[in-house]
Amino acid sequence: MKKPRIVILGAGYGGIMTTVKLQKMVGTNEVDITLVNKHDYHYQTTWLHENSAGTIHQDQTRIPIKDVVDFNKVNFVQDTVVSIDPKAQKVQLEDGELEYDYLVVALGFETATFGIKGLEEHAFNITNINNARLIRDHIEYNFARFNNEPGDREDLITIVIGGAGFTGIEFAGEIANRVPELCKEYDVDRDKVRIITVEAGPSALPGFDPELVEYAMNRLEAKGVEFMVGTPIKEATVDGVVVERDGQEEEIKTKNFIWAAGVKANSIVEQSGFEVNRGKVEVRDDLRAPDYDNVIVVGDCSLIMNEETGRPYPPTAQNAIQQSAVAAHNIKELARGGNDLQTYEFNNMGTVASLGHDDAMGVVFGDKKLFGWSASVMKKVIDNRYLLKLGGIGLLLKKGKFNIFH
């Protein structure tokens, strides 16, 4: 009898954890599992702000897929997904085509530009290893240029961050720690460097706990980060960023503009004809797409409503990782012809955001607020716990964050 073919698209948090769990649940004699990913490594998206600032190297963030996936059980295809045809049960890759009986879509997120002029051309984004590395090198190169260009080119050493959501705040914390090193290395006066975080909302992290927001803003300001709140970005140009302040447009001159003001689901999902809500598949309780019984969607491509708030749960690694347990169980069950499907419920474990490697803030265990060193340790515990889940103690020792004393 032909074995059911399971295809998993994307090896981010949702995809790789589903694969790792599934490979332990089924035998090679009963199913064929194929994992497709653009690169031969998994990367920790939640560490990309550190790679972008240059405070950790990309090799700590990326994990070879072969180190955590058993290639005797899973057929790994390094390729780029172009489209999915859920009616024909086919996936078009840049370099071929795959047919499936059961599909897991875990293609993650991309930057949302909201149609703002010039963003595609003139802004950097923190979304993957390649663009994180580019940001690091670009900023460093501009510091190197500063003393070699005629005139007072302060635009070269002005860093503008679009959006003070969690990504913007975390990047601000890292780059504020990195700037003194860059200044020393490239003979630049620290007082001339500006790090400006521009936020449309009335404060950083709009809607988050006010006490924690105040802590984060004070700590970042103490490290030299300027905040412009109530200030939407209107346009990015070759020379800088146009913002609206008090009803007036003004330009901030910069050659280092990092847009961190929003994410959306991978557009392949909508383009492939799935029924979407805000560009994502609003999955059923068992994580299946509403219109296809053989397709499960996890992570940032999926949408689940929080019944209490009437708004979707935010796209997080925490959610993608939790979903993987139900996704693996349900895909196994479907492939075996069973109908004992589990239902998924998000269990909010809290939110902790770093403010550089040495500081953080957040809320855990329901309502326990953490600040400073204890929050920073908690953040590293969360990061290390994931490594342990993904690849056991060996991976944790290789890639973990153990420096908790500063």
What string of DSSP letters covers 372-403?
HHHHHHHHHHHHHHHHHHHHHHHHHHHH----
As measured in angstroms, the least distance from the Cβ of 264 to ligand NAD is 10
- 107 belongs to the binding site for ligand NAD (CB under 6 A): no
Of residues 116 through 135, those in contact with ligand NAD by CB under 6 A are 116
- Alpha-carbon distance of 157 to 194, in angstroms, equals 7
Tell me which of 37, 272, 351, 376 binds ligand NAD, using CB under 6 A.
Answer: 351
At closest approach, how far in Å is the CB of 288 from ligand NAD? 23
Quote the least distance from Cβ 123 to ligand NAD, whole Å. Answer: 11
Residue 300 token pair: 């940032």
What DSSP string runs through 15-39?
HHHHHHHHHHHS-TTT-EEEEEESS
Check binding of 312 to ligand NAD (CB under 6 A): no
Q: Could you confirm whether 170 is annotated as catalytic? A: yes
Kindly state the smallest distance separating residue 90's Cβ from ligand NAD, in Å. Answer: 31
Report residue 255 as tokens: 């050659």
Residue 199 touching ligand NAD (CB under 6 A): yes
DSSP output for 87-125: TTTEEEETTEEEE-SEEEE---EEE--TT-BTHHHH-EE
**Contacts to ligand NAD from residues 158-197, by CB under 6 A:** 162-168, 170
Letters for 227-256 (x = contact with ligand NAD by CB under 6 A, - = none) are -----xx-----------------------
| Interacting partner of 323 out of ligand FAD, ligand NAD, none (Cβ under 5 to 8 A depending on kind) | none
Cβ contacts of 241 within 8 Å, gap of 6 or more: 160, 162, 198, 233, 235, 251, 252, 254, 257
In whole angstroms, the minimum distance from the beta carbon of 116 to ligand NAD comes to: 6
Is residue 224 part of the contact set for ligand NAD (CB under 6 A)? no
Q: Which residues bind ligand FAD (CB under 6 A)?
A: 10-15, 36-39, 45-46, 48-49, 80-81, 106-109, 126, 167, 170, 266, 268, 299-300, 315-318, 320
Residue (303 or 320) nearer to ligand FAD, CB: 320
Which position among 73, 93, 101, 201 is part of the footprint of ligand NAD (CB under 6 A)? 201
344-355: b or e for each residue (b if 16 or more CB lie within 10 Å)?
A: beeeeebbbbbb
Contacts of 118 (CB under 8 A, 6+ apart): 235, 236, 237
CA distances from 148 to 38, 62, 218, 385 (A): 38, 35, 34, 46
Please pick, among 30, 94, 170, 211, the residue that the annotation labels catalytic: 170
Among all residues, which ones are annotated catalytic?
Answer: 170
